[in-house]
Structure 1
């Protein structure tokens, strides 16, 4: 089974970090050809269902500060054979806000749409090493 849902142990470890540190989440996404039925996305492609999730996620932005800083479609993999449909970097002002978002009932209500849309994904916590220019 491809990883779609958050690993509870990894989230707990993340929550144990500096709660006030900014975090950028790397999202690697591969859509299903057809979204899994349910959650209001019946008959949609995986891409279309993910767009539904994205619009609903955008409504949460004011509460949790999740702001996409870069989004693009991968062209080719030069190392490794994985193929992705979309890459997104999302910045959160604090690690606490990201963790709170995942535990929030409003986010949990839309998370199944994300799962219905995706055949595979990676969600990787990153920390900035170089200062912003």
Structure 2
């Protein structure tokens, strides 16, 4: 099943299960559309181009909550995965807390740029991780 954005139920479960005073590292696995699919405009760009625009515009939102991209790269293949699963890009983003992550995704500025991510991404995974 292709997934692009978290459901409210998924967000609530992660909020409930994650200590509020620990840093959280979000693992992002992304597969891009060939062409970005915007709901409200006819921008002609690839999925990768739309995601690059999202990253550029979302950078201020990430910094505003004290978060940082700690690693970003291109996936070259999976050694252990279902045979039809592949990812175009992988990111690790460290947030000071799960509350900082929620503050970012609920901010008006972020809500203004997330449309590029939604248009760009065909399938994704976003996994919250605690550092040990």
8 Å CA contact 2:3–2:123 kept in 1: the answer is yes
What is the Cα deviation at residue 125 of structure 1? Answer: 0.4
1:99 aligns with 2:118: no
* RMSD, aligned α-carbons: 1.6
Alignment partner, residue 35 of structure 2: 34
TM-score (norm. length: structure 2): 0.89
What is the alpha-carbon distance in structure 2 between the residues aligned to residue 41 and residue 59 of structure 1?
A: 25
What is the alpha-carbon distance in structure 1 between the residues aligned to residue 68 and residue 19 of structure 2?
A: 20
1:3 aligns with 2:10: no
Residue deviations 1:56-90 (CA, integer Å, cap 9, x gap): 11021331122111111111111112110000000
Alignment partner, residue 15 of structure 1: 15
What is the Cα deviation at residue 45 of structure 1? Answer: 0.3
What is the Cα deviation at residue 36 of structure 1? Answer: 0.5
C-alpha change, 1:96 and 1:48, in structure 2 (3 Å) is: same
Length, aligned pairs only: 129
What is the alpha-carbon distance in structure 2 between the residues aligned to residue 41 and residue 64 of structure 1?
A: 32
